[in-house]
Amino acid sequence: MFEGKTGMTKKVEEIGDNHIGTSAKTPLRADAFDISDKDKIARIEDSVRDILDTLGMDLEDDSLSGTPRRVAKAFVNEIFSGLNPENKPKLSTFDNNYKYGEMLVEKNIIVYSTCEHHLLPIVGRAHVAYISKGHVIGLSKMNRIVDYYAKRPQVQERLTMQVVQALQEALGTEDVACVIDAKHLCVNSRGVRDIESSTVTSEFGGKFKDPSVKQEFLDYIKMETNFE
């Protein structure tokens, strides 16, 4: 079946459209940041121009002439800006002086990410919680850490784990949980074209592995939030 094909081609064909992740860490080469963002934009611009040209698009048309540059800038500065560790939000923590000992839940955090298998959008919501062991973190930082890890080619399982691991490190506690419910356009708009399905992933650390604590977190997620 694979006679005459390279090892990489064999592996790609074996995986096919399967949803697969290779590591809890984003697969980056050691030289990922040896060139500047400016140089990356220039290289990506050339690549996008070549793709559109290969597809037969008229790049002299006013509507398309700036597309390669726009796509390149969006990739580097926005859509995949989470690849650059310089963009990681500073997760400053504070002493829990008011001795709040229950779980804190930040729910319905909007997730915009990109499937690393087809480079199509992942759109959904994240729900994050922690139980303080002496330190607390600003609420907006929880949103920002989700956004940071989402802005890279991703698989949802990895994104969920990375959010938990980052907050565990910042807060000095294992007691962190994250649930993400998202739609994958690689499923919704191509392949089986199932527009109704969504993917749910979870990562529970420390006390959140206890069934009663886990259930309390899940109950908070289901609560309706209506301030009208």
Question: Quick one: pLDDT band at residue 18, thresholds 50, 70, 90?
Answer: low
Q: Is the same domain home to 103 and 202?
A: yes
Q: Answer whether 157's CB lies under 8 Å from 19's CB.
A: no
Domain range holding 101? 93-222
| Catalytic annotation, residues | 115-118, 156, 184, 186
Q: Is the same domain home to 118 and 206?
A: yes
Q: Is the same domain home to 74 and 119?
A: no
At 51-78, the pLDDT tens digits run 999 999 999 999 999 999 999 999 999 9
Q: Is the same domain home to 48 and 113?
A: no
Domain-located, residue 1: no
> By three-state DSSP, how is residue 178 classified?
strand
Number of domains in the chain: 2
Domain-located, residue 142: yes
Q: What is the mean pLDDT of residues 5-28?
A: 63
**What is the DSSP secondary-structure string of 96-122?**
-TT---SEEEEEEEEEEEEETTT--EE
Q: Is the same domain home to 152 and 63?
A: no
Last residue of a domain, one of 79, 113, 146: 79
Domain-located, residue 9: no
- Say what the pLDDT of residue 3 is: 44
CATH at residue 145: 3.30.1130.10
Question: Quick one: pLDDT band at residue 1, thresholds 50, 70, 90?
Answer: very low
The model's pTM is 0.88
Q: Answer whether 156's CB lies under 8 Å from 199's CB.
A: yes
At 205-221, the pLDDT tens digits run 999 999 999 999 999 99
Domain-located, residue 5: no
CATH at residue 68: 1.10.286.10
Domain-located, residue 11: no
